[in-house]
Structure formats: structure tokens, C-alpha cells
């Protein structure tokens, strides 16, 4: 009985011992196609309310692909697609308001899409991705500030995995979001925080 209780603990400790420290030098990571691991990804946002506090929420459904060559990280290509209908604040009535035509208009524009055009590496683990953001049917230039957390071989998935954090600020007036609710009732800037792990696609033979 005692062994049966302790067995999961021993298994967890053995697995932990096999997990290596993430490699933060991109040159030591494999090139290829990568896809977002939705189980280890989050997109959260916040906006000022009356200048007194921050209203916070998230998007629950997101997908992304990444083409990455460690020998030439500036050539990376990122495409991220957010399901606008999955917006969530924990307040169902408010969520319905945000999905309505005056705000994100998810019935006509169910996706928010970011496609990178240029990637800049500022330091060993800091960079920027400049591209186009399409939101509510409007496309504008946008820039993501990115922190590279590193990569390792993920034993649980049997694949290489890399991790990033990113920040993006969107002016809602640029996209016609909540146009009838001007500042200071709701702040114009929407601050978006992204946490993401990407799994390397298996080679096709």
C-alpha cells in the first residue's frame, strides 16, 4: 500500500530529473516548422476603466505557426490567429457586449490575425516582430515585443519545444472598437500579453 501511494511521487521525481535546463542560445536549437501548443498558451488583455482600475480578460482559443531558422533568427515567420468569439472576462453579460457589433463584432469578424513581416533580434533573448494586425476587418501595422525563454526536448510530447512571452499594445480607436465609449470611460489602449510554447512539427517522410 505504501509503495502504491509513493509510486506517483517517484515517477514525478524521475521525470523531473530527466528535464534539462532550457537552451537560450537559438543557434543550438533545430530549425523547422513549429506550432503552438494550446495547452501551454495564453492571451490576456487589460484596459483602463475610468482611469481608476484595469479591466482584464482573455481569449481562450488561439492558434499560431512559426517558421524558425536558428542560424538566421531574423528570418522567422509568425502567424497567430485568435478566435475573437472566445473573449472572456468572467462576466457573461459583459462578454456578450464585447462580442457585439459596437465592440469586436465577432459575428462578422470572428478572427484576429497577426502576421509578421520582419523580425529583429535586439539581444540574446529579446526581439521584436513587426507585421500586420487584422482586427474587426481593419488591418494596420503592429509590433510585438518578444522575450525568448529558450527551448528543450519535451519528454512529455516527444518533441522539441520553445517558449516565448510577448507584449502588444493596440489602440482600440484605430480599429473602431467601442467607438461610442470614449476615454476616460474606457482607455484607448488595450495591452495584450501572450505566453506561448511551440512544438516542432515532426519531419514529413
Q: Is residue 16 in some structural domain?
A: no
Q: Are 30 and 160 in contact (CB under 8 A)?
A: yes
**pLDDT tens by residue, 99-137:** 999 999 999 999 999 999 999 988 778 899 999 999 999
Question: Residue 136 sits in which domain range?
Answer: 23-200
Q: What is the CATH number of the domain that holds 158?
A: 2.40.128.110
Whether 72 is covered by a domain: the verdict is: yes
Classify residue 6: in a domain, yes or no: no
Residue 69 forms part of a structural domain: yes
Please indicate, yes or no, if residue 17 is contained in any of the structural domains: no
The total number of structural domains that make up the chain: 1
Mean confidence (pLDDT) of the chain: 89
Q: How far apart are CA 162 and CA 23, in angstroms?
A: 9
What pLDDT, in 10s, does the model give residues 61-80?
A: 999 999 988 778 888 999 99
Q: State the DSSP string of 89-102.
A: -S-HHHHHHHHSTT
pLDDT tens, residue by residue, 19-31: 568 887 777 788 8
User: Using an 8 Å Cβ cutoff, are 146 and 185 in contact?
Assistant: no
Predicted confidence (pLDDT) at residue 7 exceeds the cutoff of 60: no
Nearest alpha-carbon partner for 172 in 36, 48, 75: 48
Spatial CA neighbour of 172 closest among 42, 44, 43, 47? 47
- Residue 184 belongs to a domain: yes
- Tell me, yes or no, whether 8 lies in a domain: no
* pLDDT for position 72: 84
Domain contains 186: yes
Amino acid at each position: 500500500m505504501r509503495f502504491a501511494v509513493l509510486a506517483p511521487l517517484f515517477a514525478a521525481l524521475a521525470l523531473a530529473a530527466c528535464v534539462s535546463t532550457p537552451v537560450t542560445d537559438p543557434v543550438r536549437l533545430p530549425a523547422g516548422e513549429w506550432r503552438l501548443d494550446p495547452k501551454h498558451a495564453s492571451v490576456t488583455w487589460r484596459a483602463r476603466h475610468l482611469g481608476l482600475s484595469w479591466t482584464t480578460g482573455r481569449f481562450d482559443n488561439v492558434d499560431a505557426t512559426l517558421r524558425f531558422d536558428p542560424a538566421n533568427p531574423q528570418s522567422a515567420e509568425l502567424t497567430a490567429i485568435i478566435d475573437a468569439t472566445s473573449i472572456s472576462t468572467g462576466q457573461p453579460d459583459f462578454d456578450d457586449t464585447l462580442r457585439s457589433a459596437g465592440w469586436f463584432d465577432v459575428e462578422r469578424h470572428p478572427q484576429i490575425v497577426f502576421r509578421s513581416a520582419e523580425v529583429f533580434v535586439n539581444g540574446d533573448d529579446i526581439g521584436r516582430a513587426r507585421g500586420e494586425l487584422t482586427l474587426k476587418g481593419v488591418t494596420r501595422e503592429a509590433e510585438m515585443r518578444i522575450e525568448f525563454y529558450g527551448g528543450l526536448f519535451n519528454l512529455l510530447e516527444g518533441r522539441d519545444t520553445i517558449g516565448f512571452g510577448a507584449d502588444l499594445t493596440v489602440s482600440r480607436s484605430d480599429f473602431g472598437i467601442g467607438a461610442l465609449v470614449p476615454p476616460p470611460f474606457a482607455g484607448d489602449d488595450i495591452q495584450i500579453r501572450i505566453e506561448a510554447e511551440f512544438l516542432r512539427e515532426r519531419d514529413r517522410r
